Structure 1
Amino acid sequence: MTTVEIVVYEGFDELDAIGPYEVLANAAGLGADIAVSLVTLEPCDVVEASHGLRVEPDGVLGSPDVLVVPGGGWNDRSAAGAWSEAERGEIPEAVARLHDGGATIASVCTGGMLLAHAGVLDGRPAVTHAGALSDLREFPVEVREERVVDDGDVLTAGGVTSGLDLAFHLVERLASVEVATRVASEMEYDRR
C-alpha cells in the first residue's frame, strides 16, 4: 500500500488539495493500492482554506510514501497560506525531514515555494504558479514553465488546476496508465 498524505494548513487553496485527493481516492476505488488522506502538522478539528471551505483532516502528518503540499496565499502575501507557512518554517522543516527519510515530495501551485524553502528543489527543475516564478528564481532552482515537472523523488505542478494533472501523473506512477485513464474518464477530465 502506497500512502499519500496531503498536508493542509490555514489558507491552503481548496483545489490544490481536494483535486488531487479526489483523483487519488478514485484510483483507490478502482483497485489501485493507494491510501490518501488529508493531514495537518498538529492535531486540529477543522482547517479553513483560502476561499472559506472548512475541512476536517484525517489526522496528523505521519511518514507517508508520498507527501503532497498545496499552495495558496502566496502571491498576495496572505496572513494565512503558503507565504505565512514559509515564514513559520514548520512545513518546510517537515518536507525536508520526510524527503531526507526517503519520501517522494510533490507540490501544487505555490506549494512549490514551501519546497523551495525546504531546500528540496535546490539544483532541480521545478515549477510553481506563474505569479510566483520570479520568487522561485531567487532559489538555486532550474525554473521550468511546464504543467508538471517530475524529477524522480520531487514533483512540482504549476498553477491551481495543474494539481489534477499532477495527481493523474502520480496515479500512472503508483498504479498504471490504465487506472489513470479510467479515473479521467469517470471524472470527465481531459488530461494535459
Structure 2
Amino acid sequence: MLVQIVLFDGFDPLDVVAPFEVLAAGSDAAGGAMAVELVHADGPGEVVSGTRGLTLRATGRLDPDRPGYVVVPGASGPTIGDPDQGVLTIPVLLARFAESAARPLLRAALHNPEVTVAAVCGGSLALAMAGLIEGRHAVTHRLGMDVLDATGVRAVPARVVDDGDLVSAGGVTSGLDLGLHILEREFGPRVANAVETLFEYERRGIVWRAAGRTPVTI
C-alpha cells in the first residue's frame, strides 16, 4: 500500500512529518506493508515550507492512479497580513495551492475508488477552496471552521472525521491522530496501539463518522 504525502510551497512541516513518522513506524510494525512517499504535483525536487525556510524533498510526482492514500497538509505562516504588501498568509498559501497543478490531480484522486484522500489541518481548507469536497464531512483548524462551512463542506468539530474515502484531522498536531487512524483502518488496533505506545502519544477524542444515532440536544 502506498501513502503519498503532498508537498507544496508554504506547507506546514509538522502536518507532513507527523503522519510520515507514524505511518512509517506503522509500516514497520506491519511487516513493511505500507510505503510512504513525499510527492509534488510537478515531480521530484526541493520544496520550501512556510516555517523559517525549512525544506523537504519530494521524491516523486503525485499520481492519483496509484491505490492507497493521498495526504494533503496545511500551510504555515502568518494568519493576518496584506498580500499586496507581500505577506504570504496561510489563506493565501492555501488558495495558491488550491489553484495549482495539484488541483486536477487531487480531483482525480477523489474520484478514484482505490484512493482515500486525507487532510491535516488546513489541507481540508485547500480541498474546499478548490471546490473538491462540497457536501462532504470534514474538519480543519478551529480558526478555519467557518470558512470550511462557507464553502459548502459539512464542518464537524472533531479531532478526526472519517467520511469514507475522505478523512480529515483538525489542528497541526492532529497529523499524529490521522496517521494512527489510518493504521487502525488498514491494519487494525494492535498495530496502531503499538505505534501509539512507541511514540508515547495517546490519541485524542472519538473519530467522527456519519453513523449511529443522531444526538438529541440536551
Residues 11-20 or 134-143, more deviating:
134-143
Equivalent residue of 1:46, what SS? Answer: strand
- Of 65, 70, 73, the residue aligned with 2:73 is 70
Separation in structure 2 between the aligned mates of residue 91 and residue 159 of structure 1, nearest angstrom:
22
Q: CA deviation at 1:44?
A: 4.0
Separation in structure 2 between the aligned mates of residue 99 and residue 6 of structure 1, nearest angstrom:
15
Q: CA deviation at 1:73?
A: 4.1
Say if 2:191 is the partner of 1:179: yes
Equivalent residue of 2:106, what SS? Answer: helix
Contact kept in structure 2, 1:127 and 1:146, CA below 8 Å: yes
Give the number of aligned pairs: 190
One-letter amino acid matched to 2:109: L
TM-score, scaled to structure 1: 0.91
- Of 94, 114, 120, the residue aligned with 1:82 is 94
Separation in structure 2 between the aligned mates of residue 32 and residue 173 of structure 1, nearest angstrom:
16
Contact kept in structure 2, 1:108 and 1:156, CA below 8 Å: yes
| Structure 1 residues 56 and 89: CA distance shift in structure 2, 3 A | closer
What pairs with 1:115-130 in structure 2 (closer than 5 Å)?
Answer: 115-130=127-142
TM-score, scaled to structure 2: 0.81
Contact kept in structure 2, 1:3 and 1:66, CA below 8 Å: yes
Separation in structure 1 between the aligned mates of residue 179 and residue 21 of structure 2, nearest angstrom:
9
- Of 96, 102, 107, the residue aligned with 1:96 is 107
Separation in structure 1 between the aligned mates of residue 90 and residue 165 of structure 2, nearest angstrom:
29
Unaligned ranges ≥5, structure 2? 81-88, 205-218
Unaligned ranges ≥5, structure 1? none
Separation in structure 2 between the aligned mates of residue 186 and residue 17 of structure 1, nearest angstrom:
19
Residues 42-51 or 127-136, more deviating:
42-51
What does residue 43 of structure 1 align with?
A: 43
What does residue 170 of structure 2 align with?
A: 158
Q: CA deviation at 1:151?
A: 0.6
What pairs with 1:111-150 in structure 2 (closer than 5 Å)?
Answer: 111-150=123-162
What does residue 5 of structure 1 align with?
A: 4
